[in-house]
Chain A
């Protein structure tokens, strides 16, 4: 059965304030959505709700036609890279990624070393995350995309702090994912060049 993601009338409230209001979305394999919006418009909240980190106040999310709250949907289907990066500053890049790869219940893809090589970070693998530049940290975090074989990618501001060359690498990764039948939602307030974008959703 082909993978699909369907969001029906999703609303999320935080502290009695409606962040997401009645949002619906339907995505099939190879479908890439560019999520746009100003700061505070709810891009991160939407992605966190899709990742199962936030319970929506209304609406439902279906993965492969099964409600994620009622089925055995697990986070093993998704690669979520948040803007807070998810890397412990006290550990090296290699230690962080090896740790995540070892404990993860997701299907594995590339090795940590190969992922870092693709992200042009091999020579920095033994450096503590704390001393890396913002762009290097971002690339280290995005290396997770290569380590796991997940059909659904949720990327929160993946181009933050990246130079043009690194942005190109990430865009080509997304394109590869799409051509392999993946589904992706990319939240970014920056211009997104990828030719595979099929839908632009603007949150207000």
Chain B
């Protein structure tokens, strides 16, 4: 798919631009991260402050919060680039649209997936997760969040040019995200109960490989269709 060094450097430039753009629009950057932190912090108030109770729900809770927070970040993936005409300018630059789609997904993961994984460490420890389960949680979040970014970018591209597309993106994306949520949460809870979480992690890794292979094509096709 990416065959020469020019394409690799173009991919890096596209990712850097998206990261810089979102970094400067701090609300876009902070919203999903704050969402993740707040949902996780509020959960003990509603359920129970007991460590044993929190520990048993921690994996699922963190996974739900992460998935919803990442879904929130998808709405703005193409929004400003479409309204400013920058997306059109990128398409007309002759750069392969596969790279554009892949770069958007990587930038989305760097700006929302990665901070969520990092923040999951103190939040998981505060919920009573042991270090082995924490490592499984982080591994599953890494695999799952990358897949969410890739699939979410394709679905975000389908909504280019639509007003108030946020809810539509979430509704379209959730069926794809549910297997990731199930296997991610089960991997963590298995590790907490002494079961081996290998199968779930392999499944998440398989999904990631599938997403890397297929979603850039889908995103490229969606961008071209929606701009036309």
Contacts and interface: CB of A to CB of B under 8 A. Distances in A.
Contacts of B83: 84
B95 A104 contact: yes
Interface in A29-80: 51, 53-55, 74-76, 78, 80
B221 interface: no
Nearest to A89: B84
Interface stretch (A94-102, A181-189, A193-201): A94-102
Given A91-B20, A91-B21, A100 B88 contact: no
B89 to A, nearest CB: 3
Contact of B84 (A53, A55, A76, A86): A86
Contact of A100 (B22, B89, B228): B89
A82 B20 contact: no
A105 B96 CA distance: 10
A55 B53 CA distance: 58
A54 B93 contact: no
Interface size range on B against A: 20 to 34
A103 B90 contact: yes
Interface string B1-30: 000000000100110010011101100000
Nearest to B90: A103
A87 interface: yes
Given A88-B21, A90-B21, A105 B92 contact: no
Given A54-B228, A55-B228, A82-B88, A88 B94 contact: no
Most chain B CB within a 10 A radius of its CB, from A85, A90, A103? A103
A90 B91 contact: no
B85 A82 contact: yes
A122 interface: no
B20 A95 contact: yes
Contact of B88 (A84, A96, A102, A128): A84
B131 interface: no
B25 A104 contact: no
A8 interface: no
A53 B89 contact: no
A179 B206 CA distance: 58
Nearest to A52: B92
Interface string B185-228: 00000000000000000000000000000000000000000011
B80 interface: yes
A37 to B, nearest CB: 20
A145 to B, nearest CB: 13
A106 interface: yes
A41 B168 CA distance: 32
B15 to A, nearest CB: 11
Given A55-B228, A99-B13, A100-B89, A105 B94 contact: yes
A116 B28 CA distance: 30
A156 B227 CA distance: 17
B182 interface: no
Contacts of B25: 90
A106 B92 CA distance: 10
A75 B92 contact: yes
A186 to B, nearest CB: 17
Contacts of A74: 94
B13 A102 contact: yes
Interface of A: 51, 53-55, 74-76, 78, 80, 82, 84-91, 95-96, 99-100, 102-106, 128, 144
Given A54-B228, A75-B94, A90-B25, 16 more contacts: A51-B92, A53-B92, A88-B80, A88-B86, A90-B21, A91-B17, A95-B20, A100-B90, A102-B10, A102-B13, A103-B90, A103-B95, A104-B93, A105-B94, A106-B93, A144-B89
Q: What 3 A-B pairs have minimum CB-CB distances, sorted nearest first?
A: A84-B85, A86-B89, A105-B94
